[in-house]
Amino acid sequence: MTDIELPEPLTEVITPVRLEYRYTPGESPSQFLRHIPEGKLLGRRCPECGKVYAPPRGACSMCGALFGEEVELADTGTVTTFCVVNINFANRAVDLPYVCAEILFDGSDTTAQLLLQGIDPEAVRMGMRVRTVWKPTEERTPSMASISHVEPVDEPDAPFDAYAEFV
């Protein structure tokens, strides 16, 4: 048998990938999205357990009840968890490093993932209080992309008990 010389092992493959998503919101998420261009965050309260979901779903994931009362949320919230991103990727819109954070908006019992700016990534912490920064009115659409980012506000950090179940 003849010895065949093999090329170096393959260690990287570069290939273009594109994923397109089509989302069809139900009645509750549609109402949530319709108010985003106005700069409003609206949730729905579960009539059984009282939890407020933003954006709301069709029914409460805790007890299965259909949502009732609409609740306007504050544009302030608390960082429950976060990630400092240091890895480059194609079409990145912000400079590295940046922070992606889960925000518990005041009045809500669910979190939303948003870009956190206006602070050195090394200074970000759980419990930090933040405020929504909206895109200019003419750039807003019925999408969470209408929120540019959140930024710190000059308030004391929330106590751990206030967001512990979201960690």
Domain boundary assignment for the chain = 24-73, 75-167
34-70 tens-digit pLDDT: 999 999 999 999 999 999 999 888 888 888 999 888 9
| Three-state secondary-structure class, residue 31 | helix
Q: Which two tokens mark 111?
A: 């979190």
Q: Half-sphere exposure of 165 toward its Cβ, with a 13 Å CA cutoff?
A: 6
**Residue-level pLDDT at 2:** 63
6-15 tens-digit pLDDT: 678 877 778 8
Confidence label for 93 from pLDDT (cuts 50, 70 and 90)? confident
**Residue-level pLDDT at 122:** 95
Range of lowest pLDDT (19-28, 47-56, 92-101, 128-137): 19-28
What b/e readout covers 76-107, taking b as 16+ CB neighbours within 10 angstroms? Answer: bbbbbebeebeeeeeeeeeeeebbebbbbbeb
Omega cis (within 30) before 16: no
132-154 tens-digit pLDDT: 999 999 999 999 899 999 999 99
What is the enclosing helix (H) or strand (E) of 30? helix 27-35
**Residue-level pLDDT at 3:** 74
Reply yes or no on whether the pLDDT at 155 is more than 90.
yes
Task: Say which DSSP state 161 is in.
Answer: G
User: Per the confidence metrics, is the pTM higher than 0.85?
Assistant: no
**Residue-level pLDDT at 29:** 85
At residue 100, φ and ψ (nearest 5 deg) are -105, 125
105-121 tens-digit pLDDT: 999 999 999 999 999 99
